[in-house]
């Protein structure tokens, strides 16, 4: 087996192992409650008979390891269990939310990646000029701000105080597909874009600067190629390559970033779903969403790793 395939398989295996350990952690954190889960769920209406009934129904009287494997087995088969609050299968409950969050993340990625590449490479090109300084400071500021602050500033700017273009709250109609209600997506997506852009801009800039000083760009210029062609064909593509890992890492971050942003805009995705579940102590839903987000996070980090290996010849041959 070629060393490249071996390396990738090894990473994949490690990723799966990590996910397994993650599932143990998620399960342990939620099921190993101090005090009794059943009483906590029933709250005021807890009588000894009801508590016993709930415990049996949830299988809480079985040993923890047996519960864990039942849960895990269910997930592998695609059955994530039922919500405690809504008494519905979780997959039904979350299906729409997953689609909505996916749409949000997709839009955010589609806007942020090209935009940041453009701004970043321009910054690198116009190094130390006003455009570069302005972008640099802007990136620093945006990177510092918490996402909900960015979101609120956007709301004030584009929905309430300054201009009234977009809705401040995403009143998404669950009966219609998300694609027909795109204006509900705009502000949350924009918030995510601004949260993620500084990092991509920064690395594109550094990458561009390095590429512009490289020998083959000098060579292309010396050959008399028009500057525009030099930039398009030589500089830009080679500047993007080292940035791929960072871009993938940012996509991974979006999996967690949706939580606060969706809550802010009341956008019906898995992020706001998680907040609701935590507030209601809906344990199975919490487990399901956290596992989902962690899987996406691990998945994207894995892709970032593999992409780095693919584009870095040194790593491909297995040498470290």
Partner 1 sequence: MSDLDLGPDGGINEPLEPRLGHDSDLTPARGKRRRREWVQLLSDALHYRRTQIGLALFLFIVALAAVGPYFAPYSPSEFVTMPFAKPSSIAAFGGDNLGRDVLTRVLYGGRSVLILSIIATAIGMVLGVSLGLFAGYARAAVDDVVMRLLDVLLAFPQIVFVLLLVSVLGPRLWLIVLTVGFSHAPRIARVARGSTLEVKERDFVKAAESLGVSRSKIAFTEILPNITSPLLVEFGLRLTYSIGLIAALSFLGFGLQPPSADWGLMINENRIGLIIQPYSIFVPVALIAILTIGVNLATDGMARAMIGIERDTGAA
Catalog residues that contact partner 1 under the rule CB under 8 A.
14, 17-19, 21-22, 25-26, 29-30, 33-34, 140-141, 143-149, 152-153, 155-156, 160-161, 168, 195-196, 198-199, 202-203, 205-207, 210, 242, 245-246, 249-250, 252-253, 255-257, 259-260, 263-264, 274-275, 277-279, 281, 283, 286, 290, 293-294, 297-298, 301
Which one, 91 or 266, has the nearer CB to partner 1? 266
The tokens describing 40, both together, are: 């906590």
Q: How far is the CB of 30 from partner 1 (least distance, A)?
A: 6
CA distance 148 to 259: 10
Which one, 99 or 311, has the nearer CB to partner 1? 311
DSSP code for 45? G
Q: How far is the CB of 124 from partner 1 (least distance, A)?
A: 10
CB 112 within 8 A of CB 197: yes
Selection from 164, 167, 154 nearest residue 266 by Cα:
167
Which one, 103 or 273, has the nearer CB to partner 1? 273
Which one, 35 or 224, has the nearer CB to partner 1? 35
Which residues contact residue 4 at a Cβ distance below 8 angstroms, ignoring those fewer than 6 apart? Answer: 309, 310, 316, 318
Which one, 127 or 281, has the nearer CB to partner 1? 281
Which one, 225 or 266, has the nearer CB to partner 1? 266
Q: What φ, ψ does residue 79 adopt, rounded to 5°?
A: -105, 110
Q: How far is the CB of 113 from partner 1 (least distance, A)?
A: 15
Q: How far is the CB of 222 from partner 1 (least distance, A)?
A: 25
Q: How far is the CB of 65 from partner 1 (least distance, A)?
A: 18
Q: How far is the CB of 316 from partner 1 (least distance, A)?
A: 15
Which one, 220 or 257, has the nearer CB to partner 1? 257
The tokens describing 109, both together, are: 């990625």
CA distance 54 to 42: 8
CA distance 198 to 142: 7
Q: How far is CA 320 from CA 2, 175, 272, 316, in A?
A: 16, 53, 42, 9
Selection from 190, 192, 173 nearest residue 181 by Cα:
173
Q: How far is the CB of 247 from partner 1 (least distance, A)?
A: 11
CA distance 312 to 146: 33
The SS3 assignment for 82 reads: strand
């Amino acid at each position: 087996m070629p060393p490249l395939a071996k390396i990738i398989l090894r990473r994949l295996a490690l990723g799966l192992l990590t996910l397994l350990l993650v599932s143990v952690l998620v399960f342990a954190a939620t099921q190993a409650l101090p005090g009794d889960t059943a009483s906590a769920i029933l709250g005021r209406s807890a009588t000894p008979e009801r508590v016993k009934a709930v415990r049996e129904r949830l299988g809480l009287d079985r040993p923890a390891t047996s519960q864990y494997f039942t849960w895990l087995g269910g997930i592998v088969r695609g059955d994530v269990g039922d919500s405690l609050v809504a008494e519905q299968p979780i997959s039904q409950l979350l299906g729409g939310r997953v689609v909505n969050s996916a749409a949000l993340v997709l839009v955010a990625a589609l806007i942020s990646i090209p935009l940041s590449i453009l701004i970043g490479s321009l910054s690198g090109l116009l190094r130390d000029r006003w455009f570069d300084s302005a972008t640099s400071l802007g990136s620093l500021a945006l990177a510092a701000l918490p996402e909900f602050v960015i979101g609120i500033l956007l709301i004030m700017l584009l929905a309430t105080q300054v201009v009234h273009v977009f809705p401040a709250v995403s009143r998404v109609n669950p009966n219609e597909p998300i694609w027909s209600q795109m204006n509900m997506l705009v502000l949350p997506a924009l918030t995510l874009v601004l949260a993620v852009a500084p990092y991509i801009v920064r690395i594109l800039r550094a990458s561009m600067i390095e590429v512009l000083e490289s020998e083959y760009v000098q060579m292309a210029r010396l050959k008399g190629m028009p500057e525009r062609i030099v930039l398009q064909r030589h500089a830009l593509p080679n500047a993007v390559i080292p940035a791929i890992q960072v871009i993938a890492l940012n996509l991974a971050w979006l999996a967690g970033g949706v939580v606060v942003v969706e809550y802010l805009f009341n956008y019906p995705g898995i992020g706001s779903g998680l907040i609701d579940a935590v507030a209601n102590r809906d344990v199975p839903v919490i487990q399901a969403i956290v596992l989902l987000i962690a899987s996406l996070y691990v998945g994207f980090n894995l892709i970032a790793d593999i992409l780095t290996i693919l584009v870095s010849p040194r790593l491909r041959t297995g040498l470290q």
